[in-house]
Amino acid sequence: MGRRPVLLAILIHKYLVAGAGNVGCTTITGSSGPRYRWAMQNPSLVAPVFLDYEIHEYKSPLMASLNDGALVISAPVDMTANFNFSDGTNDPQKYLLQSIQLRKPAMVAEGTKQELSHELEVVLVHREVTGTGYFANVIVPVEVSAEPGLDLLAPLVNQAELPTQVGETQPVLVSNLLPLKLEHVYQGVSFQHFWGQIATSCNQTMAGSRILMRNATMATSKPILQKILTSLEWTPSVVPVIPPSQTWMVQPCPRGGTCTIPAATNLTSQLSEATLVLQQDTTKLEAAKQAMDASLVALTSNTSNVSNDAYNQAKRHRDDLRNAEAAVDGATRTVETLQTQISSAKSAVWDSDAPAQANQASTTSTASLVTNTTTTTSVSPAVAATPSFLESKSQACSTDNVAAPLEVELNQVEHVDAATSGASEALLFWRLSSTPLRPAEAAAAETSAEAPRLRVANLGDRLRISAAKPIMVLLVHGKELPISFADISIPGEHSLSGRRADAEIQLVHLPADPAQSLAVALLLDAGDGDNVWLQHVTALPRAGEIAEVQGSDPMLMHPAFSRGVAGHYYRYNGRLLKSQCARVRWHVLEERGHISSQQLLALREVLRPPASANSFSDPSALLPIVLPRHSKVSLASVRQVTQTLPVASVTDSNREPPEPPAPHLKSLLLSLPRRKRGTELSP
């Protein structure tokens, strides 16, 4: 009997470990990292690259949450704040802002001070989006000024109620008077760069991060600082981490600007001057020592009758000796520092201390698996990979010829008919991403999948619905694209023959590289029957509020989803309504969905029309979702079939028979409902 509790404890432990094995790994975010002593500049080490930044001012409210170390303000997808590291020749590393984190600086010992004295730190956490797995933390020191000229924090804090308890979330940037201007962080300054490690949301694993410490403080007012420090009152104080002795000066440059990399300073002449000063100070120290010795002899030779003049002269010689000793100590440190900097510059190589890229590790792991397994693959014509916008390069932000949904007339954009243009143009819809199961087991998992709990945020002119895992999965040209969030607006945003639908659902795929974003729009007409997926709208949050509800089966959202395929749709390159730079490839299904009159009325009570002023932002739903890498299996017999078997079993005559062949997708596409081109929509 005594063994049963032990076995039960082991099983519970395994369950908990398995359940926590991938916490925070769907969307990996970075932390603000260690709190460093401020790095000392080495003017002879100048990075051979620019920090090429593009930042636009931002006005919509943001959400701030308090964790156990910082006040974290998440950056939404429609905020343009990114930079590249580029030397103008090689492909640059691209860093996209994830969050703005406010924290107390590290404690320094009494009697000492930082290289840059400051009372608050702003950390801009970025993630690299070309697949390196790196982060970049830009650390900005903030001090109090009676009249701050450019107050970075005032727009965030004015009229906002900051969270004071860990886990609490409050809106910031709520005043319409001042926009957030992060570009001031990079203007007219340089940064000290070195590599470090930061904790990530994926089981607190560590990731390599560029650390960029601003070489000048920014100012804020005392009331603003006090308000932030009150929010951070219970966050722990920590001792500083010593930065590496070898740091590089990095020069920012606005994207599209004309900049030159500053020349490194030759410290040889400064070392010669410092050495001469040290010699002179040493000579003065020796003279002061001799004078002090003479005064001591005068005092000790006649202890019974010491004159006031002799005593005062001895005190002066003592002070002179102390000053001379301090001068020699300072000159010695200067010489040693210059010698170290010159020696460091001779051997330093830019980015030679960069940690291994995360994608290299995964490639190695995949290669090791290939040596022990044999993979048999059959690809359906429906999912044959073809060149598409998903492989296109990121482009600079420009609004030229990039329309938002409200500016698009669908009759004037490309219409796709997969039955005639090819089955590879069909859009496929799934509840789950691919799994390592056998096809029959994967299909069963797809059927039995439970709908996730949903987070419903009222942004004023739309409901934004997100979840801890993808709401569903879209398959385009053989690529699985997890849906990051869904927006619901009334009336719809897209127009067909001059008429907008009663409501519209937009399903947005947001990858790590925003240039590869994709959206599917569903146009809904009002009728008698409820939209089953929208049954959670019975208790809608008001503008600026968030609610959590149990979601319904996403396959009931639209008739095409219940079939798993759509072959008739409108397609164009555009952008999200509230963003000038969030590029998306729009797919607007021709087949209409439905929504009941009661559901439509409930939405109208809490939502304003699209593009209304003073809307909110919900950045927690706008971070990229990355699916785990698995071998593909067939779900509903139209996915790529990849079955990985041990080498020994490939020749086994007793292995299970293969899956039955997939039904021909083109016959399914030809049977899909569609509207004849040019006919009017039914009311």
Using CA atoms, how far apart are residues 291 and 569, in angstroms rounded to an integer? 96
Highest mean pLDDT of the ranges 70-84, 264-278, 551-565, 576-590: 70-84
pLDDT averaged over every residue in the chain: 76
Q: Which residue has the higher pLDDT, 513 or 431?
A: 431
Q: Which residue has the higher pLDDT, 199 or 435?
A: 199
Question: Which distant-in-sequence residues (6+ apart) come within 8 Å of 281 by Cβ?
Answer: 324, 327, 328, 331
> What is 46-254's CATH superfamily?
Alpha carbonic anhydrase (3.10.200.10)
The answer to whether residues 212 and 138 touch, using CB atoms and an 8 Å cutoff, is yes
Span 112-131, pLDDT tens digits: 555 678 899 999 999 998 88
Using CA atoms, how far apart are residues 640 and 478, in angstroms rounded to an integer? 8
**Residue 435: predicted pLDDT:** 46
Pairing of strands 518-527, 593-596: parallel
CB atoms within 10 A of CB 189: 15
Using CA atoms, how far apart are residues 269 and 515, in angstroms rounded to an integer? 49
Span 476-494, pLDDT tens digits: 877 788 888 899 999 999 9
Confidence check: pLDDT of 654 > 50 = no
Question: Which distant-in-sequence residues (6+ apart) come within 8 Å of 612 by Cβ?
Answer: 460, 461
Q: Which residue has the higher pLDDT, 219 or 610?
A: 219
Using CA atoms, how far apart are residues 414 and 573, in angstroms rounded to an integer? 10
Residue 485: exposure state from Cβ atoms within 10 A (0-12, 13-18, ≥19): buried
Q: Which fold has domain 407-435+448-607?
A: Carbonic Anhydrase II (3.10.200)
CA 392 to chain centre: 21
The answer to whether residues 659 and 439 touch, using CB atoms and an 8 Å cutoff, is yes
Q: Which residue has the higher pLDDT, 652 or 462?
A: 462
Using CA atoms, how far apart are residues 320 and 289, in angstroms rounded to an integer? 9
3 state DSSP class of 578: coil
Length of the chain, in residues: 683
pLDDT band at 425 (very low <50, low <70, confident <90, very high): confident
Confidence check: pLDDT of 244 > 80 = yes
Q: Which residue has the higher pLDDT, 406 or 3?
A: 406
**Least reliable range by pLDDT among 160-169, 363-372, 396-405:** 363-372
3 state DSSP class of 362: helix
The radius of gyration computed from the CA coordinates of the chain, to the nearest angstrom, equals 32
Span 174-206, pLDDT tens digits: 887 789 999 999 999 999 999 999 999 887 789
Percent of the chain with pLDDT over 70: 72
CA 525 to chain centre: 37
The answer to whether residues 50 and 251 touch, using CB atoms and an 8 Å cutoff, is yes
Q: Enter the pTM of the model.
A: 0.53
Using CA atoms, how far apart are residues 159 and 265, in angstroms rounded to an integer? 46
**Residue 369: predicted pLDDT:** 28
Residue position matching structure tokens 């701050």: 148
* Apex 583 CA angle, 520 and 459, nearest 5: 70
Percent of the chain with pLDDT over 90: 27
Confidence check: pLDDT of 64 > 90 = yes
The answer to whether residues 66 and 166 touch, using CB atoms and an 8 Å cutoff, is yes
Q: Calculate the alpha carbon distances from 61 to 72, 180, 292 in Å.
A: 14, 10, 69
pLDDT band at 381 (very low <50, low <70, confident <90, very high): very low
Residue position matching structure tokens 């003049």: 309
3 state DSSP class of 364: helix
Q: Which tokens hold the place of 380?
A: 């359906």
**Residue 308: predicted pLDDT:** 79
Q: Quick one: three-class SS letters along 267-332?
A: CHHHHHHHHHHHHHHHHHHHHHHHHHHHHHHHHHHCCCCCCHHHHHHHHHHHHHHHHHHHHHHHHH
The answer to whether residues 172 and 162 touch, using CB atoms and an 8 Å cutoff, is yes
Q: Which residue has the higher pLDDT, 4 or 262?
A: 262
Q: Tell which phi-psi region holds residue 45, choosing left (phi > 0), alpha (psi between -120 and 50) or beta.
A: beta
Span 520-568, pLDDT tens digits: 999 999 988 888 888 766 678 887 778 888 877 888 899 988 888 888 9
Confidence check: pLDDT of 394 > 60 = no
